[in-house]
Amino acid sequence: MPDANSLTPVGQASRPFLAGIDVGGTNIKVGLVDNKGKTLAYYTFPTDVERGPDDGCRRMAEAVRRVTSDAKADLGDVVRIGLATPGTMDVPAGLLLEPHNLQGWWNYPIRDRLAEAAGIPVTFANDANAAAYGEFWVGSGQQYNSMILLTLGTGIGGGIIIGDKLIEGEHSCGGEVGHIIIDMSDDAMKDNAGKTGSLEAYASAGGVVKRAQAALAKDSSSVLAKIGLAEDELTPLAIAEAAEQGDLLARNVVLDTAKYLGIGITTLVHTIDPESVVLGGAMTFGGNDNALGREFLQAICDEFNRRTFPTLAGKIIIDFATLGGDAGYLGAAGLARLAHR
């Protein structure tokens, strides 16, 4: 959520305006964004999935009018809405397919229904791709020509931008960067979708916790073993705190996560050869503001530089994202802006 003090007054904003909407399973975020990516007004409200998609579209349209009014802007200046949702989806058709966290909103023509409810044309995108475009447009990737985002959380999502163009893919599955395979062995770890050997299986929150559990089963000297955490208390945060206190097992879990990410990034860079790779999400161990986060990033860079071609070593900018949870609505607005131009 943008700080109230960071909002741009409408008098200093650059027209046209876009509304960016990021639909999650719990909350919907709506921002009124100007042509340079500045937020004029922001509003968030519960998704209330059970109220159904028609009611959701009605409330989203209402929220667009609300942020426009809050910003003291004119609805006529809002030329387009950018709508980001979790998959699965058919982007060209404007269709939600079977998104796991929007039960009851399946096979729903959300793009056109929202456009009808709001009376404003809508650009539709995958939420992870929208977040990538947000970081590319006004976040950590803004000075680069091309960028890959990896969002580290419960899963690993992301997106790929090359020269202002989002790689959406032919079946709305472009940039599924958590689902590249880093371990082809038969006993590789499994990810949230039950697939073996993916980057997500190793480096998502679930992967981190599973690896910590496996290590604790063999080594009881860790503070994590001594404080006797119940299984559901062994979280990435608990592991990060132990690592910060110098616990060897916890540190190894964190640095192994960096190694797996460095391997995955090597694969992605050899495919795309982007100018920058950006790491977002909750699983960044505090990012640049924290010693552990900086050590984590350095270990990722080391693994990549060791594995890549000599010509690329040291040349790819790998850094943390800067927009946090705002990347989705900002990127959705940015994609709407591209579609409007």
Instruction: Answer positive or negative: Cα dihedral of 227, 233, 235, 237.
Output: negative
CB of residue 192 to its own copies, shortest distance in Å: 12
CB of residue 202 to its own copies, shortest distance in Å: 9
CB of residue 129 to its own copies, shortest distance in Å: 11
Sort 311 into a burial class: Cβ within 10 Å, 0-12 / 13-18 / 19+. exposed
Whether 148 and 271 have beta carbons less than 8 Å apart is answered as no
Which CB sits closer to its own copies, 27 or 305?
Answer: 305
Distance CA 303, CA 261 (A): 8
Which CB sits closer to its own copies, 1 or 167?
Answer: 167
Which CB sits closer to its own copies, 81 or 148?
Answer: 148
Which CB sits closer to its own copies, 240 or 316?
Answer: 316
Which CB sits closer to its own copies, 29 or 259?
Answer: 259
CB of residue 92 to its own copies, shortest distance in Å: 11
CB of residue 153 to its own copies, shortest distance in Å: 18
Distance CA 31, CA 15 (A): 15
> Where do contacts with its own copies occur on this chain (CB under 8 A)?
88, 97, 145-146, 160, 162, 167-177, 179-185, 193, 195-197, 260, 263, 266-275, 307, 309, 311-312, 315
Which CB sits closer to its own copies, 183 or 241?
Answer: 183
CB of residue 137 to its own copies, shortest distance in Å: 18
What SS3 class is residue 189? coil
DSSP state of 311: T
Q: How far apart are the first and last CA of the chain?
A: 27
Distance CA 152, CA 279 (A): 7
Nearest residue to 206 via CA among 187, 191, 217, 224: 191
